[in-house]
């Protein structure tokens, strides 16, 4: 009997031991080997978990280029139920199937969020330029009725990214970020930098990458679209504050050809009294293409660059200048980097040493991109940038071709060696490394001037580098304008909050033909498109006019008193009036991980808004419904790319069109359910949950304010910091309770990171019709000791009630 009992005990111990060996609990989660595949579940926080899979017997140790967060100590439980291993934090339940290795995710209430597909992981042996590795993929199952957003910026015009296939390789007008958020309240970041396919079909959703030693992704539970974006920023870095002047109006074109022309544009704006905060110098200030991106003013048309910068600063404007990710063979940078193997030998822009079009291949430019993955190469890049341009006082960087341009592509180009392996392995992270190199170096030498980078491409985590991404060299067409809205919204939902577009589109040459003076700015076809694009640009994180062929400065479109000039000026003035609102919203982006351009699904539980691709919220209060169809002129179809767009002579002339821009037109807009809305222009109140038709004019697009909103309006100025905010208009839109926090600091340094800033909280109680202005919190040098608030209450019937309030940093109640 004793022997039988001992035998039973031995069998039980053996079974328990074999079961226990199926997985190993770690300090951060658990590991297991299942069907020859290693699997690790690792909590980075209660809301974020990392899933890694790799072929058993191989090593998979990866230092992420995007992720900056290290795992925080997270309380979690581990329990086994048959073939299932359950890991539970305070925010989610992760289930690992110990039989097939599939992982599923639930919230703490047991609601299913996302499931890996059974046998959905794939590892295909791959020879990566002589290194044995894998192509890796993972399939997931999504609910048929959930919407997903993000995945970077594409020009397809879609809002929800369901039923799409994306070939993720960075391009001129497409920026890929392998991260999406779901209306079910979660986000998924596929942490891989090689060319990747994202494919969503009714039966499966797939990420598949060319190169990877293993599968590596992060799942995060945010509870909402906002919350999931906040998790992504927690994982990959927070967005810093931009200087106040970056939120003003910016003028640019391809390109100002002399120092006198550049300075003259700023002078003209000042003479006209039209607000302007910055001007941008595009390429070729360095001279010929063999000196491409020399980061010096070698062009004889710019003889006194320091004086040029000082002249612009003396007019209270700022200068941003074009720099590239490549160098011509006669530059100092090329000659220093080339012997060290720091250049990537593939076709890039420009293709010829001659400026004429088409490129003369008999005289190749020899321009090559540099290797930004190499820390020494990034050091060299900054050393020349600092000496040649930053030392002159230039205020920011226009980092062009950060994807970079990859022309005449050959598959063997991916075999090129970088500091971190093959170019294929790290391809899509090129913009992250290039932008990050400049940002980190500037932060290392100056805390008085905030980093501001305008860049053409982006990757996950780039928000931490003080960069605003623009949508590339898009066409000057109505369809292109329509595409920009969902492009910008999905980009913002990829965790990167700062985005803008070339106002008017980049390639506008077709509007010149048929006009005697060669100026498409006098062509009504282009005038209407430009005005509507500018109105949209007023409500983006950066308001920047730019493009080729058609000059974009306001005075090219006419003069004061004429409909087009006045419409342009009206939008620019509105932008400046909203600066207190915009700057405070920027603070909520930095402090609270908020988003400035907001898809309607972020704020409204209204299924009708999930796929709306032509409206959005700007901040939490303003609904923007741009006019994106021609109302006064016929729409012109323009199709170009980065090659054909430069060809000026192969299109038909436009016919002159007689247009009366003083006529009234109409447009439709959908107002989300769950709140009431006020027409910004007339104060007419509408109930949400309906589509309305309202009158528009060339100087006015549909614009609404959510009931319960509190919006500060600033003084009329010619540049952002011309006047202190000592007499703000505070508009209160009744119909719901509301709050707003007015943020102020020194406008352009990093002292805010040390707590040197102030906030004033406004709270509206709709029932008692009382506005409470709280005690001011915080201080900074130069802050106002006393100010006026001109409070304007907008009632449901459109009537206004106005009161003057003297505020001395102490609580005030206004009834």
Q: Are 583 and 649 in contact (CB under 8 A)?
A: no
Per residue in 263-304, pLDDT (tens digit) is 999 999 999 999 999 999 999 999 999 999 999 999 999 999
Q: Are 466 and 240 in contact (CB under 8 A)?
A: yes
Q: Are 43 and 51 in contact (CB under 8 A)?
A: no
Per residue in 340-359, pLDDT (tens digit) is 999 999 999 999 998 888 88
Q: What is the pLDDT of residue 1?
A: 43
Q: Is residue 122 part of a domain?
A: yes
Q: Is residue 735 part of a domain?
A: no
Q: Are 166 and 150 in contact (CB under 8 A)?
A: no
Q: Is residue 493 part of a domain?
A: no
- Compute the distance between CA of residue 798 and CA of residue 214 in angstroms, rounded to an integer: 61
Per residue in 98-154, pLDDT (tens digit) is 999 999 999 999 999 999 999 999 999 999 999 999 999 999 999 999 999 999 999
Q: Are 546 and 552 in contact (CB under 8 A)?
A: yes
Crossing angle of the two packed helices 478-492 and 524-537, in degrees rounded to 10: 10
Q: What is the pLDDT of residue 642?
A: 67
Among 200, 203, 192, residue whose Cα is nearest residue 147 = 200
Q: Is residue 674 part of a domain?
A: no
pLDDT class for 18, splitting at 50, 70, 90? very low
Per residue in 747-771, pLDDT (tens digit) is 999 999 999 999 999 999 999 999 9
Q: Which domain holds residue 54?
A: 2-141+186-221
Per residue in 378-393, pLDDT (tens digit) is 999 999 999 999 999 9
Q: Is residue 523 part of a domain?
A: no
Q: What is the pLDDT of residue 427?
A: 98
Chain centre to alpha carbon of residue 272: 32
Per residue in 623-655, pLDDT (tens digit) is 999 999 999 999 977 777 766 777 765 455 556
Among 178, 55, 176, residue whose Cα is nearest residue 126 = 55
Per residue in 545-598, pLDDT (tens digit) is 999 999 999 999 999 999 999 999 999 999 999 999 999 999 999 999 999 999
User: Which run of H or E residues covers position 17?
Assistant: helix 2-20
Among 519, 353, 325, 540, residue whose Cα is nearest residue 436 = 325
Write the DSSP string, 188-234: EEE---S-EEEEEETTEEEEEES--SSEEEEEEE-SSHHHHHHHHHH
Three-state DSSP class for 92?
A: strand
pTM: 0.96
- Name the residues annotated as catalytic: 400, 403, 473
Beta 770-773 vs 175-182: how paired, if at all? unpaired
User: Is a pLDDT exceeding 60 seen at residue 735?
Assistant: yes
Per residue in 293-339, pLDDT (tens digit) is 999 999 999 999 999 999 999 999 999 999 999 999 999 999 999 99
Three-state DSSP class for 308?
A: helix
- Compute the distance between CA of residue 784 and CA of residue 807 in angstroms, rounded to an integer: 10
User: Which run of H or E residues covers position 97?
Assistant: strand 92-97
User: Is a pLDDT exceeding 90 seen at residue 259?
Assistant: yes
pLDDT class for 4, splitting at 50, 70, 90? very low
User: Could you give the angle at the alpha carbon of 258 between the alpha carbons of 360 and 518, nearest 5°?
Assistant: 70
- Compute the distance between CA of residue 631 and CA of residue 634 in angstroms, rounded to an integer: 8
Q: What is the pLDDT of residue 13?
A: 33
- Compute the distance between CA of residue 485 and CA of residue 79 in angstroms, rounded to an integer: 46
Residues with Cβ within 8 Å of residue 726, at least 6 apart in sequence: 784, 786, 787, 788
User: Which run of H or E residues covers position 578?
Assistant: none
- Compute the distance between CA of residue 343 and CA of residue 363 in angstroms, rounded to an integer: 20
Q: For position 111, which CATH number holds?
A: 2.60.40.1760
Q: What is the pLDDT of residue 518?
A: 58
Among 138, 131, 261, residue whose Cα is nearest residue 191 = 138
Q: What is the pLDDT of residue 7?
A: 37
Q: Are 326 and 292 in contact (CB under 8 A)?
A: yes
What residues form DSSP beta bridges with 690?
671
Q: Is residue 71 part of a domain?
A: yes
What residues form DSSP beta bridges with 77?
88
pLDDT class for 435, splitting at 50, 70, 90? very high
What are the backbone dihedrals phi and psi of residue 705, each rounded to the nearest 5 degrees, phi first?
Answer: -120, 135
The strands making up 727-733's β-sheet, listed across from edge to edge, are: 710-713, 727-733, 787-794, 800-807
Q: How much is the mean pLDDT over the chain? A: 94
Q: Is residue 654 part of a domain?
A: no
Among 437, 440, 436, 442, residue whose Cα is nearest residue 396 = 442
Q: Is residue 86 part of a domain?
A: yes
Q: How many domains does the chain have?
A: 1
Three-state DSSP class for 503?
A: strand
Please tell me what DSSP assigns to residue 253.
Answer: -
Q: Are 726 and 784 in contact (CB under 8 A)?
A: yes
């Amino acid at each position: 009997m004793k022997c039988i009992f001992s035998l039973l005990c031995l069998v039980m111990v053996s079974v328990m031991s074999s079961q226990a060996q199926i997985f190993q609990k770690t300090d951060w989660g658990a590991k297991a080997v299942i069907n020859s595949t290693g699997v690790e579940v690792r909590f980075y926080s209660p809301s974020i978990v990392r899933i890694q899979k790799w072929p058993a017997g191989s090593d998979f140790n990866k230092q992420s280029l995007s992720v900056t967060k290290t795992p925080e100590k997270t309380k979690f439980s581990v329990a086994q139920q048959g073939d299932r291993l359950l890991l539970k934090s305070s925010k989610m339940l992760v289930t690992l199937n110990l039989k097939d290795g599939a992982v599923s995710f639930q919230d703490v209430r047991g609601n299913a969020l996302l499931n890996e597909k059974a046998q959905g992981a794939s590892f295909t042996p791959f020879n990566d330029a002589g290194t044995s590795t894998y192509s890796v993929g993972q399939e997931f199952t999504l609910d048929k009725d959930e919407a997903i957003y993000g995945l970077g910026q594409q020009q397809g015009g879609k809002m929800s990214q369901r039923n799409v296939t994306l070939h993720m390789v960075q391009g001129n007008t497409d920026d890929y970020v392998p991260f999406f958020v779901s209306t079910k309240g979660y986000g998924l970041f596929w942490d891989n930098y090689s060319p990747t396919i994202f494919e969503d079909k009714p039966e499966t959703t797939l990420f598949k990458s060319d190169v990877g030693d293993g599968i590596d992704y992060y799942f995060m539970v945010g509870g909402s679209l906002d919350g999931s974006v906040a998790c992504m920023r927690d994982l990959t870095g927070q967005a810093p504050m931009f200087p106040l002047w970056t939120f003003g109006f910016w003028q640019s074109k391809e390109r100002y050809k002399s120092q006198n022309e550049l300075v003259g544009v700023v002078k003209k704006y000042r003479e006209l009294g039209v607000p302007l905060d910055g001007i941008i110098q595009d390429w070729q200030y360095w001279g010929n293409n063999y000196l491409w991106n020399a980061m010096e003013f070698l062009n004889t048309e710019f003889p006194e660059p320091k004086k040029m910068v000082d002249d612009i600063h003396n007019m209270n404007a700022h200068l941003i200048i074009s720099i590239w990710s490549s160098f011509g063979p006669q530059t100092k940078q090329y000659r220093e980097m080339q012997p060290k193997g720091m250049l990537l030998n593939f076709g890039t822009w420009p293709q010829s040493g001659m400026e004429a079009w088409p490129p003369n291949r008999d005289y190749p430019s020899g321009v090559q991109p540099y290797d930004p993955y190499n820390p020494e190469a990034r050091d060299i890049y900054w050393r020349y940038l600092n000496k040649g341009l930053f030392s002159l006082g230039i205020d920011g960087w226009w980092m062009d071709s950060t994807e970079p341009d990859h022309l005449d592509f050959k598959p063997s180009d991916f075999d090129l060696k970088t500091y971190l392996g093959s170019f294929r392995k790290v391809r899509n992270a090129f913009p992250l490394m290039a932008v990050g190199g400049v940002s980190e170096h500037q932060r290392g030498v100056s805390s008085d001037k905030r980093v501001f980078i305008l860049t053409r491409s982006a990757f996950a985590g780039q928000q931490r580098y003080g960069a605003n991404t623009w949508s590339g060299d898009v066409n000057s067409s109505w369809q292109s304008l329509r595409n920009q809205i969902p492009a910008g919204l999905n980009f913002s939902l990829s965790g990167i909050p700062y985005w803008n577009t070339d106002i008017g589109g980049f390639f506008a040459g077709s509007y010149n033909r048929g006009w005697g003076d060669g100026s498409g700015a006098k062509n009504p076809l282009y005038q209407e498109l430009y005005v509507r694009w500018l109105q949209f640009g007023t409500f983006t994180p950066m308001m920047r006019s730019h493009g080729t062929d058609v000059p974009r400065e306001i005075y090219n479109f006419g003069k004061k008193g004429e409909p087009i000039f006045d419409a342009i000026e009206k939008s620019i003035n509105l932008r400046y009036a909203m600066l207190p609102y915009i700057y405070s919203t920027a603070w909520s982006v930095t402090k609270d991980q908020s988003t400035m351009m907001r898809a309607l699904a972020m704020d409204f539980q209204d299924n009708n808004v999930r796929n709306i691709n032509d409206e959005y919220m700007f901040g939490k209060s303003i609904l923007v419904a741009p006019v994106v169809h021609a109302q006064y002129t016929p729409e012109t179809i323009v199709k170009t790319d980065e090659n054909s767009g430069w060809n000026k002579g192969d299109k038909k002339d436009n016919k002159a069109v007689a247009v009366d821009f003083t006529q009234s037109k109409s447009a439709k807009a959908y107002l989300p359910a769950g709140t009431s809305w006020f027409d910004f222009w007339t104060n007419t109140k509408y109930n949400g949950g309906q589509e309305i038709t309202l009158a528009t004019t060339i100087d006015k697009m549909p614009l609404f304010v959510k009931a319960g909103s509190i919006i500060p309006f600033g003084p009329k100025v010619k540049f952002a910091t011309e006047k202190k905010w000592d007499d703000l208009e505070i508009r209160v839109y009744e119909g719901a309770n509301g709050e707003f926090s007015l943020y102020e600091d020194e406008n352009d340094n990093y002292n805010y990171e040390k707590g040197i800033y102030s906030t004033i909280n406004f709270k509206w109680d709709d029932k008692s019709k009382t506005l409470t202005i709280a005690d001011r919190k915080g201080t900074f040098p130069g802050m106002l000791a006393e100010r006026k608030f001109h409070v304007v209450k907008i009632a449901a019937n459109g009537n206004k009630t106005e009161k003057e309030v003297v505020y001395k940093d102490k609580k005030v109640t206004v009834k």
